[in-house]
Amino acid sequence: MSPFTPRRQGAGRTLGRSTALSGAVGLVLLGTTAPAASADEPEQVVNGSFSNGTTGWEGYPAFAVQDGAGCLTVPAGTGAYSAAIRQPLKNLVKGATYAFTFTAWASVDGGSADTVAPYPRVVIQGGADVNYAAAFPSTKVNPTGAHKQYTYSFTENADLGATPALEFSQDISNDKAYTFCIDDVSVKGGAEVPVYTPDTGPRVRVNQVGYLPAGPKGATLVTTSTDPLPWQLENAGGTVVASGVSTPKGVDPTAGLNVHTIDFTSYTTPGTGYTLVADGQTSYPFAISGSAYDQLREDSKTVFYTQRSGTPILDSVAPGYGRAAGHVGVAPNTGDTAVPCQSLSDDSQKILVKQGDAPWTCDYTSDVTGGWYDAGDQGKYVVNGGIAVGQLLQEFERTKDAPSTDAGALGDSTLRVPERGNAVPDILDEAKWELDFFLKMQVKPGHPLAGMVFHKVADANWTGLPLDPAHDPQQRVLYRPSTAATLNVAATAAQGARLFAPYDAAYAQKLLQAAKTAYAAAKANPALYAPAPDASLDPNPGSGPYDDSNVTDEFYWAASELYLTTGDSSFRSDVLASPWNSAATSTVFTHDGFDWGHVAALARLDLATVPNALPGRAAIRQSVIDAADQYLADQAAQPFGQAYAPAGGNYAWGSNSSILNNMQVIGTAYDLTDAAKYRDGVERSMDYLLGRNALNQSYITGYGTKYSHNQHSRIYSHELDPSLPNPPSGTIAGGPNSTTLSTGDPVAAATFTKGCITQFCYLDDIGAWSLNELTINWNAPLSWVSSFLADQDNGADLQTTPLQAGITLGSRNTTGPTSATLVVSNPASPKKPGAHVSSVTFALPTAFTVSSKQKGVTVSQDGAFVTVTLPAYSGTVYGGKQVSVSLVLTPVLDGQLARTLPEQFWIDGVPAANG
């Protein structure tokens, strides 16, 4: 992603390997006497005058516009190809002749040297897929001193492959720092850059993976017709099994297309290879299956493992993704084992001063190994990791509270993680990898700002693509603690404490203490903000800023999680006093969806679903339902089915994650109400992500006929180097971004020369970092949603028992074992036949050991999940009657966790109401 955009900056610079391959070129004329190109010849370079900032260009390690030129500042000791300015050139025509001109100049620091050694190289070449074949061979230039104009001509006779680019790069390591600038860059000739027209395949757009048999089944037809059109559903053998007529919807403003919708919900027969035929077009194939989302539940979590830092990625666990441990201090890594704070001489200090703060550093180093690499870059950001780990924990916690959940699907030995078989649910093992990193990021006692949390750890300068984490040569840097990062740790550590308590009490205790310490530190430092970026002051930050100057929502989230975990009255008071607790539903749950900088929704979702006694909780639960209703209303107006209608139709950076976060809200409303409209809304919105969209593109790697697979990443750079993998199956791409042309994204700038309509503002190109990055906080809601959908089985309405179950406490002990009674009641009329009960299952919100001394009763417990088996003689519950079982609840962390009781029960495996 662009290092110069305020909202989401996570990645950067593609690095090709310059090689002198003049033999691959046909006629090449080099010199200063080539004829000037005529004014009417096509220009292939975007923003060659740098009048539009760095738009269209990439550069590293420190690239910025200075005095109207693109300038690269290269520190002494920079390695070969570790400094470059480049731009994709994807429209060169084989056999065409081009005029290539630019102005360049350079100076060694201090301006006294006569030469810059080594001289920079300039080349126009393809990538690793064509062994870096060159159209214009690698040529040294000596730009030292005054501005020099360079003029060349060349004939393009090479096969440049998928990623050709113009590149000015460092030749060999330099012993002195220097600045290199270019301006008025032009490559003229060949064909006009065509207006980009994507290949969208058949005009019938479907969910390319499949539909649940009893669920909604919708498709969208792109057509010029304004009248209804006939459609047929064909099975794999070509037999028509259903038919109907489409519903015209007019022009969708987010796509600029005239569309119809097709509804074939009534057809429920499972099978594979179905296609829809309409208006002379046949859709991509799809399945109708109750297991359509089962594999995605697992695959959507794989990228968290392959993004792990500080540990080898095992090919035996994730085949095809094995690599050495990154950032463990083994050369060329400087490593995360002993990371210093940002230097007082670093440009990052200037933006601290700009926002009114004093320069900041520290006099110690910290071991901050572990955690997840955030995205396409290899920075580790607490606020982005916070929402990601928070949503994974919510996904697991949902197995305790949601009637439709399949708790075993997220248990031990269900995911591709090396911790399989340790008696801890695998999803908690994955979350622990990030939580452990958070604990390391907390400032230790005895240092200034003790208890606060460093905002991020990242490279001092941007690096290029591809780059294995173990080969990253950049110095790693810790950035000043922030209130936002500290509150993210307070929230997620508190959340983790209650979820880990049944499996690892000592670790739960450690998390809880860290959460309380962080919350107290944040209250003592409530306005320590990460600064907003400023390219004029810090042109090469090396990482995204994740600036956030309103942390009231983070305080609300942290207080809520601490209250849910401990039941402490001080945290309850903070929750109730927060303006977010009484804020309007539309303020907490906006049309745009929540994200890392707007986390009040996370608090509301947990307060609504995790058992607690907060005053006004009913209103909080209703706010989630009201928000879901608004998202369903938004969805109803979208002919492609997405639950997303941002203001002005402007899709955000990472719009697919916004859609997924809205889907989580809708799914939670289903968990609260059992109303089918919410379940169906999640299913319909998933259709959009899996291909029912303007581009006919599944945005999830490995899923569908045409799916995203070239996401912007230093690790998964297959598009640049075929020996490297694409992202793992189940990885979601950022998706359409209405702001792409204002980000400086070079691929977007070169492609969308005439602009783009919202849904068409997307490219599956590794260089398109504003459109096609992957991030942990985008895959986290995909993980939640895929689990929700996999839980729906065939998509039919939830079957429940008429019986009710509940637990009452026989004593209100604040510490020690507590007597309790499990009651199963039958609210039916006494005239109705009795119902037999064999067992009752429930999940404890925090952590107790459950036992019973009642004759004939057996209790089995697996972590938080408890099954009570009733004696045969008392297993029938007649109308108007009840049966009771005496229990003893012994707290795991005596007196530290809330003594809340479960609100969801399963009687003989069937969901039962709490009563």
Backbone angles phi, psi at 195, to 5 degrees: -65, 130
- Helices 483-500 and 426-441: crossing angle, nearest 10°? 140
Task: List Cβ neighbours of 77 (8 Å cut-off, separation of 6 or more).
Answer: 173, 174, 175
Chain CA centroid to CA 16, Å: 26
CA dist list (Å): 618 to 559, 609, 614, 625: 18, 11, 9, 11
Give the type of residue at 153: S
Instruction: To the nearest 10°, report the CA torsion of 218, 223, 224, 226.
Output: -20
Q: Is residue 773 annotated as a catalytic residue, yes or no?
A: yes
Closest C-alpha to 913, from 834, 827, 795, 797: 827
Calpha distance 769→438 (Å, rounded): 27
Indicate the helix (H) or strand (E) that contains 272: strand 271-278
Handedness of CA 40, 41, 45, 46 (dihedral sign): positive
Task: List Cβ neighbours of 856 (8 Å cut-off, separation of 6 or more).
Answer: 870, 871, 872, 873, 874
The tokens for 762 are: 């997307």
Calpha distance 767→2 (Å, rounded): 10
- Catalytic residue, chosen from 712, 719, 765, 903, is 712
β-pair partners for 913: 804
Calpha distance 409→334 (Å, rounded): 40
Handedness of CA 265, 271, 272, 274 (dihedral sign): negative
Q: Is residue 764 annotated as a catalytic residue, yes or no?
A: yes
Strand 286-288 to strand 218-222: parallel, antiparallel, or no bridges (unpaired)?
A: unpaired
The tokens for 442 are: 């907390």
Closest C-alpha to 105, from 97, 95, 117, 116: 116
Calpha distance 152→216 (Å, rounded): 61
The tokens for 262 are: 């097709």
Instruction: To the nearest 10°, report the CA torsion of 738, 743, 746, 747.
Output: -20
In terms of C-beta distances under 8 Å and separation of at least 24 residues, what long-range contacts does 239-246 make, across chains too? 241/267, 241/269, 241/274, 242/266, 242/267, 246/221, 246/278
- Catalytic residue, chosen from 347, 548, 683, 773, is 773
β-pair partners for 786: none
Q: Is residue 406 annotated as a catalytic residue, yes or no?
A: no
Closest C-alpha to 167, from 180, 155, 176: 180
SS3 of residue 856 by DSSP = coil
DSSP state of 446: T
Helix ranges (H only) for 47-194 are none
β-pair partners for 122: 139, 168
Helix ranges (H only) for 696-798 are 746-751, 776-791
- Catalytic residue, chosen from 347, 764, 791, 903, is 764
The tokens for 51 are: 């009048």
β-pair partners for 98: 154, 189
SS3 of residue 157 by DSSP = coil
Chain CA centroid to CA 405, Å: 23
Calpha distance 693→736 (Å, rounded): 11
Length of the chain: 915
Calpha distance 417→405 (Å, rounded): 22
**First CA to last CA distance, the chain:** 51
DSSP string, 503-523: T-HHHHHHHHHHHHHHHHHHH
Closest C-alpha to 243, from 266, 227, 226, 223: 266
Instruction: List, by residue number, the catalytic residues.
Output: 712, 764, 773
